[in-house]
Structure 1
Amino acid sequence: MTMPASYVADRLFGGEHLILASNDPDEVIDGCSKALRPHRLHLNGRGAALATRLHHVPIGSFSMSRLCYGSDVTVIPEIPQGGHFLVTLPLRGSARFRYGASTAELKPGRGSIVGPYQECQLDIDGAFDQILLRLDRRRVERLCADLAGMEQAAPVNFDLSLRDTPAFWHKLLEAAASLSLLGDGLAHPKLFIRLEELIIESLLVTQQNNFSAAISAATQPARSAQLRRAMEHMRAHIGEPMRLSQVARHCGLSLRSLQAGFQRELGVSPSRWLRAERLDRVHAVLASAPPGTVSVTDVALQWGFVHLGDFAAQFKDRFGQKPSAVLAKRTS
């Protein structure tokens, strides 16, 4: 892990990401509190002086930072309302993190996941250099509930010590930072959302937490009967707003198992299957409606299409003509 993390750090954090370079304790506390989490900072050792450098890359609702205090310090984060998970990937030096009743020794190759629920203390040596990933608590809890097939989100308590991160993690972080730097994510915000989901889901699956058993059980392969139940449920509510995570829970599956089952048995994702079903309903209505009785917009909205521009393009892709053309044939 040491070489990949260092390589990623050097690739991700350039001069354009440097937001703090200071030896002033008040400036350091203020800058790090804004980028990471409000905290108190104590310098350890008589005559100690900071030489802090903080790089920061905001990426949608999460962020990545590189932080080195340049002095032996003790950090005591506050427990703010809402809160974030902080994932630490050490690059150099050592630290000892205490979170609740747990303690972790950090060094290159041994990271940590600090949650937002309990008091913690971070004892950091002057050489400690780290990548920090800040993840929104609500997103982690919601995605955990989806993976475990639970209706309600709940606090997620990871083991403090971070096991080896998945190999593709560093590629995800690099891709997210590149999108942020180039501004591509502003044009395609769903890219950021999906990258964030992949990062969080990989943590939930690979790092021990209080829902690991439930996630493991829920991610078993979907049975054909469960997939039929999912299709029946979506058809019964086809014109309503629909979250696939809710469909998965209805069938006793995780979202991942539902998606994998559809790909395995139907060769498409659940969302594509649902869209095709809705398009077929719209086409049937437009092709059979008496003249002057319906409009394309009303029919599209009736069957669950909210973004009419996307709907028109999807309709033409599926049927080779615009929805207005289908309706015009009927009325001519």
Structure 2
Amino acid sequence: MNLCLLHEKSRVFANTYPGVVSDYANEHAGAHRVIQRRISDPEASLKHRTIGSLDLFQMSYGSRVQITSPEREALYHLHIILKGHCMWRSCGEEHGLAPGELLLLNPGTPFDLTYSDCYEKFIVKLPARFIDKVCSENQWSYPSEGVRFAPIHRLEQLDGFLSLLSLVCQEAETDQTIFQVKEHYAKIIVSKLLSLPGSNVSREPLGGACRSFERLEELIEKNLKQSISLEQLADLAHMSAHSLYALFEKHAGTTPKRFIRQRKLEAIYARLSDPQVAVSSVTEVALDYGFLHLGRFADYYKSTFGELPSDTLRRRG
């Protein structure tokens, strides 16, 4: 797979020692440790560019090396093997990677990579916050523990991905391109990766997730007198807090907290208005629905219904 994605203008090092490339990669790509399997002539090389929130690297240590990382920080890494071979080991699993295969490394997962002689790889560094942002903007949901990718893939699973990467690298090497355009390309890369099988992201638009919202409404209605946390709602819907907020914005036009408060206020209004419901005092009803600060409750109530709760109770006769 003889492919040059980044060109000479992106060159940082050529024919240097592995330690030099390792120091640079630790600073710009992410923490790791390199063990050189044999002493060789200085043939390590590295090219580096940024595009929006992503970093692009094309690199080789010039000889057989082992790379380890006991923990991943808040970063994902996409590795594409361009030349040579790599043995990946992580959490009791292992797989031999050849040119044309992709490796996706998740945060918080240790790994061990052993590369053959004469290898070359392309790396995309993807900050976790940026992946969350792309999911949120597309209104895609994922579990509260964060996005997770299956580690091993083939380029054939991403139709046109190499052509896209070539275009992205070309844009990254164009100094005149404005940041907003580069950020747009970065979002396309992440969106493409999120379509890979084995990720825990649901790419169904939240507009089509009515059943999830209906389940949340049912939970809220059944527990109006209880304290309902955002964590409970997110767990029920199997989505992150970001996706939960997007779901409520889409279906209710407000935040989860305000939605719950509104439903509580409506239930209190119904009780205070209905002469068939025995009510001894406004305070009793407010406390029953979890409003412990009575002055604040009265403000919410009047802002919603245009009158104080005591006026509603008095008006029913």
For the aligned pair, the TM-score class normalised by the smaller chain equals: 0.5 to 0.7
Match of 2:175 among 161, 165, 183: 183
Tell me what 1:68 maps to. 60
Provide the rounded CA distance (Å) in 1 between the counterparts of 2:165 and 2:82: 15
SS in 2 for 1:29: helix
Provide the rounded CA distance (Å) in 1 between the counterparts of 2:72 and 2:27: 12
Gapped runs of 5+ residues in structure 2?
Answer: 211-241, 252-317
The one-letter code of the counterpart of 1:44 is R
The one-letter code of the counterpart of 2:47 is H
Gapped runs of 5+ residues in structure 1?
Answer: 225-242, 253-332
For the pair 1:18 / 2:8, whether they are aligned, the reply is no
The one-letter code of the counterpart of 2:113 is L
Partners of 1:71 and 1:125 within 8 A in 2: yes
Tell me what 1:91 maps to. 82
CA radius of gyration, larger in: 2
SS in 2 for 1:122: strand
Tell me what 1:138 maps to. 129
Q: Deviations over 1:252-289 (max 9, x none)?
A: 6xxxxxxxxxxxxxxxxxxxxxxxxxxxxxxxxxxxxx
Partners of 1:43 and 1:49 within 8 A in 2: no
For the pair 1:42 / 2:32, whether they are aligned, the reply is no
Tell me what 1:269 maps to. none
CA-CA distance at 1:50 after TM superposition: 4.7
Write the mapping of 1:170-319 to structure 2, written as runs, cut at 5 A.
170-186=162-178, 189-209=179-199, 211-212=200-201, 215-216=202-203, 218-219=204-205, 222=208, 250-251=249-250
SS in 2 for 1:74: strand
RMSD of Structure 2 on Structure 1 (CA): 3.3
Provide the rounded CA distance (Å) in 1 between the counterparts of 2:105 and 2:142: 25
Q: TM-score, normalised by structure 1?
A: 0.58
Partners of 1:149 and 1:248 within 8 A in 2: no
Provide the rounded CA distance (Å) in 2 between the counterparts of 1:111 and 1:132: 10
The one-letter code of the counterpart of 2:23 is D
Provide the rounded CA distance (Å) in 1 between the counterparts of 2:137 and 2:34: 37
Q: Which has the higher helix share?
A: 1
Partners of 1:96 and 1:105 within 8 A in 2: yes
**Aligned residue-pair number:** 222
For the pair 1:169 / 2:161, whether they are aligned, the reply is yes
Provide the rounded CA distance (Å) in 1 between the counterparts of 2:61 and 2:135: 33
Provide the rounded CA distance (Å) in 2 between the counterparts of 1:137 and 1:202: 15
Q: Deviations over 1:184-204 (max 9, x none)?
A: 333xx2222221111111111
Partners of 2:139 and 2:206 within 8 A in 1: no
CA-CA distance at 1:25 after TM superposition: 3.9
